[in-house]
Amino acid sequence: MTEIDYSGNPNQRTPCVLVLDASGSMDAKTSSGKTRIQELNEGIQALKAELQADDTALVRVMLSIVIVGGPTNDAEVLMDWTDATQFQPFPLRADGTTPLGKGLTIGLELIEEAKADLRANGVSHTRPWMIVISDGDPTDSGDAWQNAVLECQSAEAQRKVEIFSIGVDGANLTTLGRISQKPALSIQSVKFRELFVWLSASLSAASRSRPGDTVSLPSTDPWRNVGI
């Protein structure tokens, strides 16, 4: 895990793990003529730009990315915990299958690591977020998916994490919806940019709150197809 220099920035943090589906199906073209993965990459660029424009979020949000599928055809940590000030977008490549259950388990582990690290450094934090974006059904073998669902449900019930599941272009929302107390949202991949702008604004709102506060998030109208 990358060491974040908390001494240079002792602000409270809002940790956010992005669990991103980069499986082969993300190579499908959208109505804009671009592939889903290209749209996702542009969305990540937009997230960076939005965070940069928000002084508070910039110093309080920390991000980590778990990739599902992609060139290694596995689920693993792609980006260690990184302060928004240090976050640099990078292009993802679509390939392989969708071991989403493993990705979720890794995401939850990352969150626990971050919380322990923050505690050890005396830095307060708001409830961590896990944003799950997928366009297909999980392809985990055995009970990995089922176990991951139970872990997610348990973690959210214990208020250890706030999970947002987002299905892209006809993903199985029922399956995705099982990982959170909130139903999965549907999004057209052409609206990834709007999604990440919303995410930045939401993280900004969360990062301004104090631990334990209830936060009103921006409306998801610009990008969602179904309501929360």
Partner 1 sequence: MANLFCQQCGQSCPPTLRLCPACGGRSLAISRPLDQAHSLQSSAKAPSPSVSGRQQPINSPPRLPVDPTVVGGDHKVLAGRWPRLFANVIDTFLVALASSVVSALGNLVSTQGATGEALYGGILVLSSALLPFFYFTYFHRGPNGSTLGKRLFGLKVVMQSGAGLSTITAFVRVFLTLIVPVGGILVLGGAAILPAASELPSLQLMGGLVAVMAIMICLLGPYATIFFTDQRLSIYDMICKTIVIKREVA
Can you tell me which of 29, 56, 71, 112 binds partner 1, judged by CB under 8 A?
71
Residue written as token pair 């199906």: 25
Interface with partner 1, residue 27, by CB under 8 A? no
Can you tell me which of 6, 12, 27, 78 binds partner 1, judged by CB under 8 A?
78
| 3-state secondary structure (DSSP) of residue 149 | helix
Q: Which is nearer to partner 1, 82 or 147 (CB)?
A: 82
Number of residues that bind partner 1 (CB under 8 A): 19
Inter-residue contact 51 to 89 (CB < 8 Å): no
Can you tell me which of 47, 92, 106, 168 binds partner 1, judged by CB under 8 A?
92
User: In degrees rounded to 5, what are phi and psi of residue 171?
Assistant: -65, 160
Can you tell me which of 72, 174, 181, 225 binds partner 1, judged by CB under 8 A?
72
- Bridge-based pairing state of the strands 14-22 and 61-69: parallel
User: In degrees rounded to 5, what are phi and psi of residue 141?
Assistant: -90, 155
Residue written as token pair 């214990």: 158
Interface with partner 1, residue 90, by CB under 8 A? yes
| 3-state secondary structure (DSSP) of residue 192 | helix
Least CB distance to partner 1 at residue 75 (A): 12
Interface with partner 1, residue 5, by CB under 8 A? no
Q: Which is nearer to partner 1, 74 or 151 (CB)?
A: 74
Q: Which is nearer to partner 1, 2 or 56 (CB)?
A: 2
Range in contact with partner 1 (rule: CB under 8 A) among 91-99, 124-132, 175-183, 210-218 = 91-99
d(CA 17, CA 142) in angstroms, rounded, equals: 25
Residue 3 zone, left/alpha/beta (φ > 0; ψ -120 to 50; rest): beta
Indicate the Cα dihedral angle 212, 13, 15, 214, nearest 10°: 20
Interface with partner 1, residue 76, by CB under 8 A? yes
Least CB distance to partner 1 at residue 87 (A): 8
Q: Which is nearer to partner 1, 105 or 180 (CB)?
A: 105
Interface with partner 1, residue 77, by CB under 8 A? yes
66 - beta bridge partners? 19, 77
- Chain contacts with partner 1 (rule: CB under 8 A): 2, 67, 70-72, 76-82, 86-88, 90-93
